[in-house]
Amino acid sequence: MDIIKTIIFGIVEGFTEFLPISSTGHLILTSRLLDLKQTDFLKSFEIAIQLGAILSIIFLYWKSLFRKWEVIKRIITAFIPTAILGLIFYKIFKTYLLNEIVVLWALFLGGIFLIIFELFYKGKEEGIEGISNMSYSKSFLIGIFQSVAIIPGVSRAAATIIGGLSLGIKRKTIVEFSFLLAVPTMLAATAFDLSKNINQFSLEQVNFLIIGFIVSFIVAIISVKFLLYFIKNNSFISFGIYRIILALLFWLIIR
């Protein structure tokens, strides 16, 4: 790992965290392109730099996160199943699932599912608009959908957004809820991982974490604004096509 590679990771994380294409999957594939082995530090690094992207949401949505209690309660409700399942499957996730084969299959199949879903999805005019108008039961179900993304390559954003759309929530509302739900989810995942591994990192490695954090924060702000603009007139089919092409290209590379 060096500064250039750290910046590359920060850019990849910041741009992909909130798009339905899997930031974790992209980071794993990026490490392959940069010829970096999946060491314990790299696995923790890939989790920790997500904090930068999360800080961008706090920066952009701080009023919703700290001043709107109705929104906060729904975020907490959706976070509960993710927290429980995350604790249960943490060791399995980090030991067995953080690898290229799992990522490529998840990207490929997820891309197909995303395309099929969008082709048959018909948004209702009377769909739920505004996070405060979402029921607690729907919020909890979205948290369950998000839990599927413990499999790298699935995409936390894709899982929550598709889950919300299938429950009759307006596209802009569920996209913003996905942004906000990422805050406790990623904070908890990063804090849990670093609490177990931070003492093993050298000062140089900590500096790499800080650099990746800053870069991902800046790029994530751009990515969030891009997605909000994109969904005004577009479905997620293009993201599904991208996922399939990316998976196929990497299959050719690693053969």
pLDDT at 20: 93
CB 46 within 8 A of CB 128: no
pLDDT digit string (tens) for 67-86? 788 999 999 999 999 888 87
Amino acid at 119: L
Average confidence (pLDDT) over 132-157:
91
Q: What angle do CA 209, 213, 217 make, to 5 degrees?
A: 175
Is the pLDDT confidence value at 94 over 70?
A: no
CB 168 within 8 A of CB 124: yes
Average pLDDT, the chain: 86
Cβ neighbors of 167 (< 8 A, separation 6 or more) are 128, 138, 141, 142
Higher-pLDDT residue of 202, 90: 202
pLDDT at 83: 85
For the chain, the residue count is 255
pTM: 0.85
For the chain, strand residue ranges (E) read none
Average confidence (pLDDT) over 31-52:
79
Is the pLDDT confidence value at 197 over 70?
A: no
pLDDT at 73: 93
For residue 185, give both structure tokens. Answer: 């989810």
Cβ neighbors of 215 (< 8 A, separation 6 or more) are 6, 7, 9, 10, 11, 14, 49, 52
pLDDT digit string (tens) for 147-170? 888 888 889 899 999 999 999 999
Is the pLDDT confidence value at 182 over 70?
A: yes
pLDDT at 12: 94
Higher-pLDDT residue of 224, 35: 224
Average confidence (pLDDT) over 134-144:
94
pLDDT at 247: 93
pLDDT at 137: 95
Task: Give the whole-number percent of the chain exceeding pLDDT 90.
Answer: 46
pLDDT at 77: 95
User: For the chain, percent helix, then strand, then coil, each to nearest 5?
Assistant: 80, 0, 20
pLDDT at 82: 84
Cβ neighbors of 172 (< 8 A, separation 6 or more) are 129, 228, 231
pLDDT at 190: 75
- Please, which pLDDT band fits residue 126 given cuts at 50, 70 and 90? low
CB 98 within 8 A of CB 37: no
